[in-house]
Amino acid sequence: MTRQLNRLTEMTAVPRSRYEEQTMITIPSFTMNNGINIPALGYGVFQMTSDQVREHLPQALELGYRHIDTANAYFNEVAVGEVVRDAIAAGSVKREDLFITSKLFPQSYPYAQAVKDIDATLERLGLDYLDLLLFHQPYGEYTSGWKAMEEAVAAGKIRSIGLSNFPIAKFQEILDVASIKPVVNQVEAHPRWNQHELKARMDRAAGTEVLVEAWYPLGHGDKTLLEEPAIAAAAQRTGATPAQVILAWHLAEKNITFPKTLNPAHMADNLAALDVTLTEAEIAAINETPQAPYYVIPDEPPAFTTTVNDYSQQA
């Protein structure tokens, strides 16, 4: 689709694995506002145990995934690092071909703590640098910690920095103190909550494009989303599944997605969505879906965001 292809800035071909026929897939990337490319489709490890990461992340890498999304609050950074280092040591991937993201929770935001916790995340992962580090929740001393994030970029520990779950008012607070602007904001995004307004407001405030990374990209398991008429019609025309149509819509919308699955066949199905071509009319019809989020980010911090955790306790 023309609109979709015009937005893709880089294509990286990687071989598929034993889970499918040995063909080549193409994983598109988008260019962030700092000039660095970010793969449009990745593998997220939210709510995965360390053992699940050790089992399933190698399958994702074998299939061709190169973008990995974790967080200190996921308590699986150690396992992610082990899998990544093993794959590099085996020669199946190169570090420069991977894009690895982690996130800091609010307890890490005060400047002095952020300095320590950035190093702690790198130590748990066993990596010299992160491709992207995000502030995970919009609470606490995020304006203080942003300076530590910028210093980590200057030191070569992090290549890009961004935010997660930040509404426009708190996004603006970061801009007010920033020398380096956020490159992404990871938020709920899907056809029922397309984030068009937030995107436009972020871009105006930053004076540059800020990409959206989508959580709940398929609607948090809501089967009724898959049955939306515009999605069902596009699936019927293309022969794709409704989930693949939604992922193709995300690609056209320039959203970075991490559809979660522990099933290698579903991992391959998600990659196959990259070959689904939607028309302009189909994209427009999907964008007419009535809007409502599944989760509203509260202004005040929920208890789970203020609990102090010991992130060193990972197996």
Residues of the chain with pLDDT under 70: 1-24
State residue 315's pLDDT score: 76
Q: Cα–Cα distance between 103 and 118 in angstroms, integer?
A: 9
State residue 16's pLDDT score: 40
Q: Which of 19, 43, 65, 74 is catalytic?
A: 74
Strands (E), the chain: 10-15, 24-31, 37-39, 43-44, 67-69, 99-104, 132-135, 161-164, 184-188, 211-215, 255-257
User: What one-character-per-residue DSSP string does 26-75 give?
Assistant: EEEEEE-TTS-EEESB-EE-TT--HHHHHHHHHHHHHHT--EEE--GGGT
State residue 5's pLDDT score: 31
Q: Cα–Cα distance between 246 and 282 in angstroms, integer?
A: 11
* 294 has catalytic annotation: no
State residue 158's pLDDT score: 98
pLDDT in tens, 149-160: 999 999 999 999
Q: How far is CA 257 from CA 51, 69, 107, in A?
A: 23, 10, 26
Query: β-strands 99-104, 67-69: how paired?
Result: parallel
pTM metric for this prediction: 0.91
State residue 313's pLDDT score: 84
pLDDT in tens, 19-69: 444 344 778 999 999 999 999 999 999 999 999 999 999 999 999 999 999
Q: How far is CA 141 from CA 21, 102, 295, in A?
A: 50, 18, 23
